[in-house]
A and B are shown apart, each in its own frame.
Chain A
Amino acid sequence: MAKKMKNTPHEQYINAQRKEKRIVLSWQLIIFVSFFVLWEVSSRMHIIDPLLFSSPSKVVALLQTKFMDGSMISHVQITMFETILGFLIGTIGGICIASLLWASDRFSRIADPYLVILNAMPKVALGPIIIVALGPGMVSIVSMGAIVSIIITTLVVYAGFKDVDPNYEKVLISFGATRWQRFKEAVFPATLPTMVSTLKVNVGLAWVGVIVGEFLVSKKGLGYLIIYGFQVFDFTLVMSSLLLIAIAAAIMYKIVEKIEGWLMKHTS
């Protein structure tokens, strides 16, 4: 009897779901393990050049010593800090510019061709100019992190503002609302989901800007370690830095995803 109870259609459905999940997870694990095993083995058997491609065991050993003596953690911290700052400035700045564009139709028409050009332009190409202008330091790197996302955020959020159903504004106008009240009560809150969706894109873009910035000027940070390792031919260091960037970027992405979920629940 008990056995029969277990096989209600709903339980069958749940079981099938669980099974699918297990299969997916196993495959993910298999790919993960075999990648590192293959890397290690082919490096040791000289199928790939161990000097160029290093090996997982060397990377782990290097990370261990570097974290033990405390020299690595500051590099990770500084890059994370620059990325978060660049991300915040890019996102908030973009939203502010979009708001200004909304505030004045004429301003938005005037700015339009410049925004198009700035958006089409690969922002990292501005790197040298930014460094000359702002000096070879953290300010330049954070600016790089911000500049890659600010224009696209502006365009996306402004399009979101324009997309808001004009009838919400009509309701407010019928109460005699000012332009600012219309923005505050209808246009801005209605666009929050769009803004939230730019967060995930921007966090990836900020990494691009910051790493390129570090390539160009810095004396610290993960981007610096990659360039340094490349110059002194220490590819174990390059691989270690890449691994750390991958982990840090993934963690940051997940955090942004959590924030996004929370914001979505509380704003729409």
Chain B
Amino acid sequence: MSFLSVNHVTHYYFSKSKATQALKDVSFSVEEGEFVSILGPSGCGKSTLLSLLANIIHPTEGKISLNDQPISTLDDSIGYMLQQDYLFPWKTIMDNVLLGPKIKKTTESSTNEKAERMLEEVGLHKISTSYPDALSGGMRQRVALVRTLITDPEILLLDEPFSALDYVTKLTLEDAVADLLATYKKTTVLVTHDIGEAISMSDRIIIMDTNPGSIKRMYDVPLELRNERPFNVRRHPKYQRIFDKVWNELNTKSIIPTSSKIVGDQHG
């Protein structure tokens, strides 16, 4: 029995003129504590897949279960982080972080301290009374991560959380997130179009195909890279070889890669 299992999930988007198949017969499972990346070009349904896992939309066909329970019956075991931070600009950092406990009505006297401690852990000091406007993109994304983690979700879903950041911030944040996830031993599913990010952060990579979105291949990241921090993985001698392998996997059926495209993808 696996921790998270996705069984034959098919999803359609309906509009007046047509039904679009976003996902076709997707099945995979994630073990507890595992970090899985879903990698694929835009339009492969990877964000749809994440929304399904987050219980925001429900699959047309198929089942998703967490600990053998259908996720539609659970409402507090999933942490979902979006492409941009979506901090509420009218709330202070502290109020933003405490949003989850407030919605779930689980605020306790210790929740405040917990929030402060977690903000410190991601390197944010004395900002709890500031407003999101005053923070840089990287800092805001850290706050968003804390907001997601403070409710102690059993599984963390990340939807291209670094894609809106500049390259340097992104690399720093990858390490920070990896450290935090290691501390809290979270099961994580990351959606990305960035091959480097997928390799450096995950234990396993699921490569998706487009039209309709389906799983093309699974790829296990070698053991010696899994325990390295993301930045070190990118400098590891084996990194380039894996990168090429994944790259070829992504492009087997489609167009010949151009050099500019490789650069573009590396830089997210």
Whether A181 is near chain B, meaning CB under 8 Å from some CB there, is yes
Give the total of A residues in contact with B, Cβ under 8 Å. 19
Contact at A176–B104, with CB atoms within 8 Å?
yes
Q: Is the CB of A175 within 8 A of B84?
A: no
Please classify the interface of chain A as helix (H, G, I), strand (E, B), loop, or mixed, using the class held by over half of its residues.
Answer: helix
Q: Which residues of A contact B78 (CB under 8 A)?
A: 174
Instruction: Tell me which residues across on chain B come within 8 A of A267, comparing CB atoms.
Output: 90
Complex-state Cα separation, A181 to B148, whole angstroms: 17
Residues on A with beta carbons closer than 8 Å to the beta carbon of B76? 175-176
B191 interface hit (Cβ, 8 Å): no
CB–CB A192/B90 < 8 A = yes
For the complex, give the distance between the alpha carbons of A173 and B56 in Å: 7
For window 165-219 of chain A, which residues contact chain B by CB distance below 8 Å? 165, 167-168, 170-177, 181, 185-186, 189-190, 192
One digit per residue, 1 when the CB lies within 8 angstroms of any chain A CB and 0 when it does not, for chain B 79-112 equals 1101010101110000000011011100000000
Contact with A174, one of B54, B84, B88, B90 (Cβ below 8 angstroms): B54
Contact residue among A176, A185, A190 (Cβ-Cβ distance under 8 Å from B75): A176
- Whether A175 pairs with B82 at a CB distance below 8 angstroms is no
Given the known A-B contacts A177-B103, A185-B99, A185-B103, are A171 and B90 also in contact in the complex, defined by CB atoms under 8 Å?
no
| CB of B151 within 8 Å of the partner chain | yes
State how many angstroms separate the Cβ of A61 from the closest Cβ of chain B: 53
Flag whether A28 is at the interface (Cβ < 8 A).
Answer: no
| A34 interface residue per 8 A CB criterion | no
Tell whether A268 is near chain B: CB-to-CB under 8 Å. Answer: yes
**Beta-carbon contact of A189 and B88 below 8 Å:** yes
Which B residues are CB-close (under 8 A) to A185? 88, 99, 102-103
User: Of residues 56 to 105 in A, which have CB atoms within 8 Å of B's CB atoms?
Assistant: none
Closest CB-CB distance, B264 to chain A, in whole Å? 25
Q: Is the CB of A175 within 8 A of B151?
A: yes
A167 and B80 CA atoms in complex are apart in Å by 11
CB distance from B250 to the nearest CB of A (A): 27
- Known contacts: A192-B90, A268-B90. The answer to whether A172 contacts B82 by CB under 8 A is no
Q: Which residues of A contact B84 (CB under 8 A)?
A: 167
Which residues from chain B contact A167 at a C-beta distance below 8 Å? Answer: 82, 84, 86
B54 contact set on A, CB distance < 8 A: 174
- Nearest residue (CB) in A for B103 is A175
A151 to chain B, nearest CB (A): 28
CB neighbours of A165 from chain B (8 A): 86
Q: Which residue of B lies closest to A177 (CB)?
A: B103
**Complex: how many Å from CA A244 to CA B218?**
79
* Residue from A171, A177, A186, A192 having most chain B Cβ neighbours under 10 A: A171
A165→B82 CA distance, assembly (Å): 13
Q: Which A-chain residue is minimally distant from B151 (CB atoms)? A: A175
Cβ–Cβ contact B86 & A174, under 8 A: no
Cα–Cα, bound, A190→B87 (Å): 12
CB<8 Å pairs between A and B, sample of 29: A167-B86, A168-B86, A168-B88, A170-B86, A171-B86, A171-B99, A172-B99, A172-B103, A173-B56, A174-B54, A174-B55, A174-B78, A174-B80, A174-B148, A175-B99, A175-B100, A175-B103, A175-B104, A176-B75, A176-B76, A176-B103, A181-B103, A185-B88, A185-B103, A186-B88, A189-B88, A190-B88, A268-B89, A268-B90
Other than the given A167-B82, A170-B56, 19 more pairs (CB < 8 A) read: A168-B88, A170-B80, A170-B82, A171-B99, A172-B99, A173-B56, A174-B78, A174-B80, A174-B148, A175-B104, A175-B151, A176-B76, A176-B104, A185-B88, A185-B99, A190-B90, A192-B90, A268-B89, A268-B90
